[in-house]
Amino acid sequence: MARWQPDARNRLAAAALDLYEERGFEGTTVAEIAERAGLTKRTFFRHFADKREVLFSGTDELERLIVDGIAAAPATEAPLDAVVAGLAATAEVFDAERLPYARRRAAIVDANPDLRERELIKMERLSTSIAAALGERGVAEPAASLAARAGVTIFHVAFGQWVGGEEQRDFGALIERTARELRAVALA
Amino acid sequence: MARWQPDARNRLAAAALDLYEERGFEGTTVAEIAERAGLTKRTFFRHFADKREVLFSGTDELERLIVDGIAAAPATEAPLDAVVAGLAATAEVFDAERLPYARRRAAIVDANPDLRERELIKMERLSTSIAAALGERGVAEPAASLAARAGVTIFHVAFGQWVGGEEQRDFGALIERTARELRAVALA
């Protein structure tokens, strides 16, 4: 086995997903994931803190994309517009190529209460980060927290439609449409 | 000790709160709560599933008040207006008398990651129940989910101001004001 394995992380993630589907998340061990990937447990732990993090490591990148997108929005942009721009920036990763993985991951998370809790915690953390990014733009409270939570709501609903829909749809367009729908609900 | 103890539940809850403050939530056992209340563990488990539920048993009543308030709103009321009416109905329990307890409870929950997770799960469940109540009123998706999540956001922010504020404020008025602020954010 070559010592230099640039794709170790991807192989571990693919093996984990297969095993979570075959045996369930609870029924899978780190040793089994490493074995399936042809790697050691030691290598697994160099890439992931635990077997749960295989499914959640992407959320840090997600948060960064959103927060950077908010920071990059024109200073004159209203808080919720800046948040929507940040959310739409994630269309870069949530593309057609990612959809099959996202669907498999969503099914695994939905089937396990601990993973659903973990998802809630990550969304709560995202809300805090968005509110902080708005604070940096000079948005006061409670507007920053309200716009941040409205943003997480838009993300949550749009993401559910993206992974749950029959056909493949553009994630950025779903974010924009869901933002309009939320505004319509708030205006009614 | 009299066999008939109508206030057993309240005595257990008060003893639990005292002990969580004195020893921390983690450092307190059900046996200690029962002893402090002058009751048995058996009696504790007749009232609460575990020591965590002492802090969360009120959320079922909360959910009922909100869902009933939504159902009672005039049929012509817009979805978010019906949700706000339901949320404002909880001012019945979140009154001046309840505030000292709510503040103590919030401090205990904030200090413990497991309890904060539990709170997130209860809020997520509340969101699902509100969306279902809107569905019963004929509100379609995604408007029902969006109005429900907007409602939970309003509740969360208003509740934070109620327990976190220096003076004592009317919870119903805080709900109404936060709803106006969310609408302003959505409109901007």
Contact B150 A145 (CB under 8 A): no
Reported as a pLDDT band with limits 50, 70 and 90, residue A89 is very high
3-state class (DSSP) for residue A31: helix
Residue written as tokens 């109620």? B162
Q: What is the pLDDT of residues B92-131, one digit of tens each?
A: 999 999 999 999 999 999 999 999 999 999 999 999 999 9
Residues B17, B19, B24, B26, Cα dihedral to 10°: -100
Contact B25, B115 (CB under 8 A): yes
The predicted pLDDT at position A166 comes to 83
Higher-pLDDT residue of B68, A58: B68
Contact A182 B117 (CB under 8 A): no
Q: How far is CA B17 from CA B38, B56, B69, B106, in A?
A: 15, 12, 30, 11
Contact B187 A183 (CB under 8 A): yes
CA-nearest residue of chain B to A145?
B157
Q: What is the mean pLDDT of residues A26-53?
A: 96
Q: List phi, psi (to 5°) of B149.
A: -70, -35
Reported as a pLDDT band with limits 50, 70 and 90, residue B2 is very low
Among the partner residues B79, B117, B181, nearest to A185 by beta-carbon distance:
B79
Q: Does A165 touch chain B (CB under 8 A)?
A: no
The predicted pLDDT at position A167 comes to 86
Contact A186 B181 (CB under 8 A): no
The predicted pLDDT at position B3 comes to 52
Q: What is the pLDDT of residues A124-145, one digit of tens each?
A: 999 999 999 999 999 999 999 9
Contact A150 B124 (CB under 8 A): no
Q: Which residues of A touch B121 (CB under 8 A)?
A: 117, 120
Assign 3-state DSSP to chain A and report helix, strand, coil percentages, each to 5.
75, 0, 25
Both tokens of residue A90? 């994630």
Is the pLDDT confidence value at A12 over 90? yes
Q: Does A188 touch chain B (CB under 8 A)?
A: yes
Q: Which residues of A touch B181 (CB under 8 A)?
A: 142-143, 146
| pTM score, whole prediction | 0.91
Q: What is the pLDDT of residues B46-88, one digit of tens each?
A: 999 999 999 998 888 999 999 999 999 999 999 999 999 999 9
